[in-house]
Amino acid sequence: MRMKSGSWVGFLILVGLGLLTSCSTKSSTSSGTGALFVTTQGDALVSPFSVDLRKGSITANGTGVATGVTPSAIVLTPSGDAAFVANRDSNDISRYTVKSDNTLLAVSGNTPAGVTPVSMAIDSAGHFLFVANRGSDDISVFSISSGAGLTEIPGSPFPAAASPVSLAITPSGSLLYVANNVSGTVSGYSVNSTSGALSSVPGPLFTAGTTPSGVAVTPDGKFLYATNSGSNNVSAFAVNSDGSLTPISGSPFSAGVGPLSPAVDHSGKFLYVADQQSNQVSGFSISSSTGILTALSTPSISTGVSPVWLAIHPGGQFLYVANNGAASISAYTINTTSGVLGVVGSSFTTGGQPSALALK
């Protein structure tokens, strides 16, 4: 992902919002320390954690830094030197520089966004920040400068379909996709590589399931997946050269109850989905030729209460889940052959209502 695409949790919060041992999971050979950043809505903070890249365990790394009201999404620049947080109820973006010890330093002055910003994405070159504004049905686009600087580009915000709630950008940075919660569609945009301006791809709306809540693109840019929290399934599409989408045979594929945040591993072999209402992560293998999803041999694993956000470490060996209702983070190893998840220790307690994660 490597873009992740900042997935979305704000809508469900607005409306009311199989523990296996690691015997089935290959142990990681990595070493060193990574970083995890967590937004928490109950105390309006973004907090840094250190990641043990041998075990996958996390420990607090200093203290949290204030956000705006109801932080709902976080993204890091590709270089990892800056972070941005979308604040759903103050309609702005908090900006931070990431210090050498992976703690955060707030940049003075939040950047105004549209109404109810709930999701973000950054292109792989780190040139542009895209923000889905659910309340104003549009997408804000900002150019990124050093020191976490943001400047809204000419023409921004760009119109979107009803209730845009999640963004995903292709690895090339040329295509942006949006899950439109109310209209039950995914829309596509071409991204101007120089200006960041958006223009609709042929279509431009593609039918998903009921209440699409998250989108993710494979690392090769060939396939797109949309989680449908209202119909408890995942819509799968092939990405065409002109940016239009073609449904994949067998789509949609069954998931757990209330699937939200999707994440594709860095090899492009596996898709994971946070099933908010069944308190689990569902896992699928991805056919490299067709994009068809097949449930893993162990199709799901338990999380804490109300999982709302998944993030995979750039090294590809660990997956982390923000459990909004349990005020905790769950950690898992990823078997790089089978995709099966293994539990890493006990869940780590956070501040109230963790809502989004970013890793480096």
For the chain, the domains span 10-17+33-265+349-359
Neighbours of 64 (CB within 10 A): 19
Length, in residues, of the chain: 360
Q: Could you tell me if 202 and 182 are in contact, meaning their C-beta atoms sit under 8 angstroms apart?
A: no
CB burial string 66-76: b at 16+ within 10 A, e below: ebbebbbbbbb
Q: Could you tell me if 92 and 68 are in contact, meaning their C-beta atoms sit under 8 angstroms apart?
A: yes
Classify residue 250 by its DSSP letter: T
pTM to 2 decimal places: 0.92
pLDDT score, position 21: 29
271-329 pLDDT, tens digit per residue, is 999 999 999 999 999 999 999 999 999 999 999 999 999 999 999 999 999 999 999 99
pLDDT score, position 19: 31
pLDDT score, position 30: 61
Neighbours of 265 (CB within 10 A): 21
The rounded distance, in Å, linking the Cα atoms of 81 and 66 is: 18
The rounded distance, in Å, linking the Cα atoms of 68 and 360 is: 23
Q: Could you tell me if 83 and 39 are in contact, meaning their C-beta atoms sit under 8 angstroms apart?
A: no
pLDDT score, position 31: 72
Low-confidence ranges of the chain (pLDDT < 70): 1-30
Neighbours of 219 (CB within 10 A): 17
Neighbours of 30 (CB within 10 A): 16
**CATH code given to domain 10-17+33-265+349-359:** 2.130.10.10
At residue 49, φ and ψ (nearest 5 deg) are: -130, 150
Q: Which SS3 state, helix, strand or coil, does residue 278 take?
A: coil
Strand pairing report for 175-180 and 185-191:
antiparallel
Structure tokens at 246: 């073609």
The rounded distance, in Å, linking the Cα atoms of 126 and 76 is: 9
